[in-house]
């Protein structure tokens, strides 16, 4: 099956997710620079979430360009990923509007964790089978960042009830790890026919 439709649909969903997030930003009441200060929690959560959606879009793009075929399992795995990513605007708004309360920060981490697991499952769906997307399987290798990320998300979720800023630091660390596209895939483009 051709991968173009899956890639186009995913790009559209991710664009809508970003649009929904930006619509949550409200215009400050007043015309002075200090009128922006009350909006900092919403703005910070937006910036962090925008970076996360951008990371997923970028890595999804590289992932799709490194494969040769998709099947029904891959399509469902992709929808699973998009489902979790579509919850980012809700948890982003909840976290920002409630000034990083423990439960919103915990739920934000839970959505990030579920998104990471869904991405892992997408990669597995794309590489399972005897010779299915063999190139991608070889390039992915040990996937150290993919194994460290869930651990940091879990740490952040636990820290949400101890210190929300340490929890957020865990989420920022994971974003910093992934902000550069996956070089394993970038350095080894597929040899497509």
Q: Which sequence spans correspond to the domains of the chain?
A: 4-186
pLDDT of 63 reads: 87
Task: Give the pLDDT confidence score for residue 192 in this predicted structure.
Answer: 45
The Cβ of residue 71 has, within 10 Å, a number of other Cβ atoms equal to: 14
pLDDT of residue 193: 39
Residue 50: what pLDDT?
97
* pTM, two decimal places: 0.89
Helix 4-23 vs helix 40-65: crossing angle, to nearest 10? 180
What is the per-residue pLDDT for 83?
98
Write down the pLDDT at residue 182. Answer: 62
List, run by run, the mean pLDDT of 10-residue segments along the chain (193 residues): 87 96 89 90 96 95 85 94 98 95 98 97 83 70 86 98 98 93 61 44
Please work out, in degrees rounded to the nearest 5, the angle formed at the alpha carbon of residue 138 by the alpha carbons of 130 and 152.
115
pLDDT at residue 29, as a whole number: 86
């Amino acid at each position: 099956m051709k991968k173009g439709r899956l890639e186009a649909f995913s790009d559209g969903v991710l664009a809508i997710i970003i649009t929904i997030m930006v619509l949550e930003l409200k215009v400050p009441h007043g015309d002075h620079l200090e009128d922006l200060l009350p909006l900092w929690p919403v703005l910070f959560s937006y910036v962090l979430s925008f970076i996360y959606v951008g990371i997923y879009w970028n890595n999804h793009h590289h992932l799709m360009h490194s494969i040769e075929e998709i099947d029904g399992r891959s399509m469902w795995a992709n929808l699973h990923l998009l489902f979790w990513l579509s919850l980012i605007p809700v948890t982003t708004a909840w976290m920002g509007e409630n000034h990083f309360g423990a439960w919103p920060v915990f739920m934000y981490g839970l959505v990030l964790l579920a998104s990471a697991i869904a991405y892992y499952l997408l990669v597995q769906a794309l590489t399972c089978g005897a010779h299915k997307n063999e190139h991608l399987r070889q390039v992915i290798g040990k996937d150290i960042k993919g194994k460290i990320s869930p651990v940091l998300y879990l740490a952040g979720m636990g820290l949400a009830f101890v210190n929300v800023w340490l929890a957020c630091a865990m989420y920022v660390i994971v974003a910093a790890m992934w902000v550069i596209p996956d070089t394993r895939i970038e350095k080894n483009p597929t040899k497509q026919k």
